Amino acid sequence: MSSQLEPIKDPGLPAHVHRKTDTDPKAADRAERQVAAMFGISALGTVLLIVSYVFIPDDVFVFIPIMGNQNAHQLGLGLGMAIALFFIGLGAIHWAKTLMPDQEVVMQRHEFRSPEQDRKDFVDTVKEGAASSGLGRRSLIKKSLGAALGLSALSPILLLRDLGPLPGPEQKMTNWKSGTYLVTDPGDRRIKASDLEVGSVAQVMPEFADPKDRHLDDIAKDALLLIRLRPSEFNLEPDRLAMTHEGIIAFSKICSHMGCAVALYEQTTKHLLCPCHQSTFDVTRAAKVIFGPAARPLPQLDITVDGEGYLIARKPFSEPVGPSFWGREK
Ligand code: FES
């Protein structure tokens, strides 16, 4: 046996295997139709996005098995964009794999900067490749790609619409008016003071003649927290105490920092806590901020009862609810 090591032989390149579409014109035409179909589906995805954006109200929900109730507007936008981008990419890959030139090229290594002639050759090769991709000959692909690309370019332009209009005065107003009944959420039942035990907390909404007219925008502004303490536990100015009823006090649930729902109540300390950035409000002192980034207390709603003992708003909020970014006096 020879003890000398033998150099590994250059295995060379394997024999080039031609694709079916290189040799069979019918297969090439079939591939062309498949690519065009993918670009067509992409264009339909963009149409779905546009239709969802323009025609589907943003408070319509549809039931999808497994996923549950979904916002139809958001679902249409997401599905439309996903279909448009996925199929335009898939079509391009299929086009490259089946119809674009399939030549193997061997090049020797060279200096980093190519000689001028090579650079010029490269540009010529790119132009030649573009020409040989068949765009000129395959008009079906050209048209469907043009439609898909043109429509997909509309999506970002369409979304510019979300930059306006500027928030109007409706952002500063809620549906709480003088005499509005407080109703349970969910359930829309009027509430009597006696329904609330000392120490309890409830989320309530203003009563609507038809609860179906209550939109997400309304809920985002109107949500109210109702908390019952012993009247002796309050540490309030007389004007604030007059806004309570038998130990029941009502605050906007919308955090005065950035508008999250103030959802946590610590019964022992009487503190309301916003889970987003931990702003903490003292219920006994008219939701004064005792910790966190919120700059002002939660607005308090003036409440009383009607002749039958149902809780109603005595007045609207005296200040806008929610974040402090559009100029607050308090
Ligand atoms: Fe409530 Fe930031 S939104 S603390």
The pLDDT tens digits of the residues spanning 219-266 come to: 888 999 999 999 888 888 889 988 999 999 999 999 999 889 998 888
Decide which of 2.102.10.10, 3.40.50.150, 3.40.50.2300, 3.40.50.1970 is the CATH code for 169-313: 2.102.10.10
- Residues of the chain falling short of pLDDT 70: 1-3, 110, 167, 325-330
Q: In what order do the strands lie in the sheet with 288-291?
A: 264-266, 271-273, 280-282, 288-291
CB of 296 sitting under 6 A from ligand 1? no
Pocket residue to mutate for ligand 1, from 225, 254, 271, 276, most atoms within 8 A of Cβ: 276
Strands (E) across the chain are located at 61-64, 68-71, 182-184, 201-206, 224-228, 248-252, 264-266, 271-273, 280-282, 288-291, 300-301, 303-305, 311-313
Tell me, in angstroms, the distance from the centre of ligand 1 to residue 8's CA. 68
CB of 301 sitting under 6 A from ligand 1? no
Give the per-residue pLDDT at 3. Answer: 65
Tell me, in angstroms, the distance from the centre of ligand 1 to residue 315's CA. 26
pTM above 0.85, yes or no: no
Tell me, in angstroms, the distance from the centre of ligand 1 to residue 92's CA. 46
Give the per-residue pLDDT at 330. Answer: 43
Give me 225's structure tokens. Answer: 């927290």
Tell me, in angstroms, the distance from the centre of ligand 1 to residue 59's CA. 24
The pLDDT tens digits of the residues spanning 179-197 come to: 999 999 888 899 998 888 8
